[in-house]
Amino acid sequence: MKSLPIIPVAAVAAAGGAATLVASQPNHLPPVPGTPVNTALAEAATYQPSYFSAEEYRFLQAAVARLIPQDELGPGALEAGVPEFIDRQMNTPWAAGANWYMQGPFQPSAPKEMGYQLKLNAREIYRLGIAAANAWCSQDMGKPFADLPADAQDKALTAMQNGIDGFDSLPSATFFSMLWGNTREGFFSDPIHGGNKDMVGWKLIGFPGARADFMDWIERDEKYPLPPVSIKGLRG
């Protein structure tokens, strides 16, 4: 089994494939005592999921906290509200597969160029995937995923990414790929969708957000001097 790669959080911005980020310390909500309270970030701690059960949401919070960790560069996926982003996505037509091509034949072993090859929509992938992940962790590591120490969570995520037995309803790599992709999306999407609270993802990479015009800065090879702006006009 491959070991989980340790990648600085900034590298997530350029990651095009399935990579995994590892925190040196587990994430915590609310923010670390002694730091200024940010109202937007504090909202992540009070959100109540509408699709996921309490146990499923605990898994989601623990998993995204390991994928994009809070560190010296700033808040991670947990603090930025990525679990809220994913939960809200589950109530969209996309998550129900309404705009997916869902007709057979299904060939799970087909090359990736052939596109998605399962009968499951996003809601089903999460529900079945989280249940399978918790069952596998309980059997192989003694506790459900959210109750494991950080290093064991990293090993479990690596195993899911590489493919493990025990995921009878779907390949573990398929579940990990969706979780990792949605985590990135939630961290860098506009805050209107529930994640990227206080635009922490945009601040991390220097992205100006929904500003009307910043084309004259693209080729200057200089740091953009103004804070990001969201679709609603909020300024970071």
Q: pLDDT digit string (tens) for 160-191?
A: 999 998 888 889 999 999 999 999 999 999 99
Q: How far apart are CA 216 and CA 21, in angstroms?
A: 33
Q: How far apart are CA 78 and CA 83, in angstroms?
A: 7
% pLDDT > 90, the chain: 49
Highest mean pLDDT among 37-51, 96-110, 129-143, 215-229: 129-143
The per-residue pLDDT of the chain, averaged, comes to 81
pLDDT of residue 43: 73
Three-state SS annotation for 24-70? CCCCCCCCCCCCCCCHHHHHHHCCCCCCCCHHHHHHHHHHHHHHCCC
Of the listed ranges 70-84, 88-102, 145-159, 198-212, the one predicted with least confidence: 198-212
Distance set, CA 3 to CA 6, 19, 21, 124, 154 (Å): 9, 12, 12, 28, 9
pLDDT over threshold 80, residue 78? yes
The answer to whether residues 130 and 60 touch, using CB atoms and an 8 Å cutoff, is yes
CB-CB neighbours of 152 under 10 Å: 16
Distance set, CA 215 to CA 204, 211, 223 (Å): 20, 10, 13
pLDDT confidence bin for 108, thresholds 50/70/90: confident
pLDDT confidence bin for 6, thresholds 50/70/90: very low
